[in-house]
């Protein structure tokens, strides 16, 4: 017999209990669930964002721009960094415990009813979150919801929405067991979010995958706004206080003196996608689009664990570079910004990732030592596979908490501690560092 949900811990535990059904592509299950709550997917205004990397940062920039323009904006992101509730937020404020409990109490009986249908075969955790998010945003009457794709696009449960704008940030190698072995196959899956006559903004994407996206857009008569074509960003230089300076151009004109508070040239590219989406939204809604709003919106954006400095003394930077595409960009940034530092890397990832390639990229950093560790999470890397890595560049640390403590005790003035790999791992370390008060968090 089903017991009433009473606490936030129980509510989240019930959501997580659906992990047993795994991650299964297809829209039929989420559609069946949404049919039971009067189909909010047909009523919520959505900006839908896909991409191998850069989705979350783009959501953060766009959300901040919309808030600055006075728009009430919902956001749906994954994974969470500080608390589960942040995955569903309004105006960057995570859903309250009470509202999340009420959603679970509403959806639990509906899900369990559908579980009895053999063709459903268990609704997954992400499908439930997608349905709850849409129902919540409809109830709260947000002006627009910025929705991040979970995995791929075409068969992702978020693709149930009927968007007003779509975007594809980047195409790289990730989740190849599901999305395909080539960049063109992966691009085909991402392009699945493109809808009939709905504008699509693309980020910095290589020619082959971009052709795949262009063909889909043409088939759907969806107008494209491409990086380097319909809009451009001109990287200037790093900001001395942390972040990057750049300019932006599109058909509306030039925006100068722009700054993102996150480090890395790729953050300028992500911001470009967000600005173009914002301009198109303003055009559709007949809202003013001006340089001051863009400047303030970008400056206020926050996105933890993406080249985030959590401490000055000692210098600690965190980045959830969870695949080789993201790791390549991280290594480029570290080589450029911290070339005079001795770099100590605390690294862990999921076994489903190309760990050998990620480690090979980290080895390109001058004066680097890499500390391999693991953490409590399904499919976290098995350290036994890396015992033979013990050498002048690698150490294996069985308990990351112990390894972190030793690294912090041994930090010199010209040392950088870089914590990277799985976002789930980085999130755990981040919470510990902030809780012990050893940080002066800075975005």
pLDDT digits (tens, 9 = 90+) for 142-177: 999 999 999 989 999 999 999 999 999 999 887 656
Hey, what are 305's tokens? 């664990």
Residue 300's contacts (CB-CB under 8 Å, 6 or more residues apart) are 64, 67, 68
> Both 56 and 203 in a single domain?
yes
Strands 368-372 and 394-396: parallel
> Both 189 and 322 in a single domain?
no
Burial of 52 (0-12, 13-18, 19+ CB in 10 A): buried
pTM of the model: 0.91
CA 375 from centroid of its chain's CA atoms:
21
Tell whether the model's pLDDT for residue 120 goes beyond 80: yes
Q: φ and ψ at 430, to 5 degrees?
A: -60, -45
> Both 403 and 288 in a single domain?
no
Asked if residue 440 is part of any domain, the answer here is no
Identify the domain boundary among 261, 282, 299. Answer: 299
**Which ranges of 18-124 would DSSP assign to H, the alpha helix?**
28-35, 55-68, 97-115
> Both 314 and 425 in a single domain?
yes
Q: φ and ψ at 150, to 5 degrees?
A: -75, -55
Identify the domain boundary among 257, 272, 299. Answer: 299
> Both 347 and 293 in a single domain?
no
> Both 68 and 127 in a single domain?
yes
Q: By C-alpha distance, which of 142, 163, 166 is closest to 58?
A: 166
CATH code of 405's domain: 3.90.190.20
**Type and span of the H or E element at 180:** none
> Both 105 and 126 in a single domain?
yes
> Both 369 and 271 in a single domain?
no
Asked if residue 67 is part of any domain, the answer here is yes
> Both 252 and 313 in a single domain?
no
Count the domains in the chain: 2
> Both 210 and 332 in a single domain?
no
Identify the domain boundary among 271, 299, 327. Answer: 299
Which range among 87-91, 95-99, 176-180, 306-310 shows the weakest confidence by mean pLDDT? 176-180
In angstroms, the CA 414 to CA 338 distance is 10
Asked if residue 406 is part of any domain, the answer here is yes
Hey, what are 237's tokens? 């230089």
pLDDT digits (tens, 9 = 90+) for 7-39: 999 999 999 999 888 888 899 999 999 999 999
User: By residue range, what is the domain housing residue 130?
Assistant: 8-299
CATH code of 222's domain: 3.40.1190.10
> Both 188 and 239 in a single domain?
yes
Q: By C-alpha distance, which of 249, 278, 300, 285 is closest to 66?
A: 278
For residue 253, what are the β-bridge partners?
250
> Both 190 and 330 in a single domain?
no
pLDDT digits (tens, 9 = 90+) for 197-249: 999 999 999 999 999 999 999 999 999 999 999 999 999 999 998 999 999 99
Band (pLDDT 50/70/90 cuts) for residue 439 is: very low
What pLDDT score was predicted for residue 358? 96
What pLDDT score was predicted for residue 3? 62
């Amino acid at each position: 017999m089903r017991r009433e949900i009473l606490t936030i811990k129980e509510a989240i535990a019930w959501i997580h209990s659906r992990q047993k059904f795994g991650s299964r592509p297809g829209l039929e299950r989420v559609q069946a669930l949404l049919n039971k709550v009067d189909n909010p997917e047909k009523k919520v205004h959505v900006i839908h964002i896909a991409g191998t990397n850069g989705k979350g940062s783009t959501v953060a920039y766009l959300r901040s721009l919309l808030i600055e323009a006075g728009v009430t904006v919902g956001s749906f992101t994954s994974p969470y960094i500080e608390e589960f509730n942040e995955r569903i937020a309004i105006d960057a404020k995570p859903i309250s415990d009470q509202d999340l409990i009420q959603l679970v109490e509403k959806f639990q009986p509906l899900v369990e009813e559908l579980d009895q249908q053999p063709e459903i075969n268990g609704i997954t955790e992400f499908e439930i979150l997608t349905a709850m998010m849409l129902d919540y945003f409809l109830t709260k009457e947000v002006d627009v919801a910025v929705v991040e794709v979970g995995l791929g696009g075409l068969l992702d449960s978020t693709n149930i929405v009927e968007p007003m704008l779509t975007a594809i940030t980047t195409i790289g190698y990730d989740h190849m067991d599901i999305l395909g072995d080539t960049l063109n196959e992966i691009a085909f899956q991402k392009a699945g979010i493109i809808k009939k006559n709905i504008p699509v903004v693309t980020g910095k994407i290589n020619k082959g995958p971009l052709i795949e996206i262009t063909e889909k857009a043409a088939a759907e008569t969806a107008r494209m706004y491409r990086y380097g074509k319909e809009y451009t960003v001109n990287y200037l230089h790093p900001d001395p206080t942390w972040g990057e300076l750049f300019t932006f151009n599109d058909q509306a004109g030039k925006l100068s003196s722009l700054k993102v508070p996150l480090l890395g040239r790729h953050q300028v590219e992500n911001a470009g996608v967000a600005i173009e989406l914002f301009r198109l939204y303003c055009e559709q809604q007949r809202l003013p689009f001006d340089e001051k709003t863009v400047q303030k919106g970008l400056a206020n954006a926050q996105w933890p664990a993406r080249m985030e400095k959590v401490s000055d003394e000692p210098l600690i930077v965190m980045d959830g570079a969870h695949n080789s595409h993201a790791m390549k960009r991280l290594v480029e940034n570290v080589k450029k910004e911290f070339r005079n530092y001795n770099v100590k890397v605390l690294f862990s990832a999921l076994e489903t990732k190309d760990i050998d390639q990620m480690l090979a990229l980290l080895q390109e950093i001058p004066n680097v030592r890499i500390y391999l560790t693991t953490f409590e999470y399904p499919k976290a890397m098995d350290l036994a596979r890396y015992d033979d890595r013990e050498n002048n560049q690698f150490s294996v640390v069985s308990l990351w908490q112990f390894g972190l403590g030793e690294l912090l005790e041994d930090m010199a003035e010209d040392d950088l501690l870089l914590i990277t790999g799985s976002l789930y791992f980085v999130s755990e370390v981040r919470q510990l560092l902030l809780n012990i008060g050893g940080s002066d968090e800075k975005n």
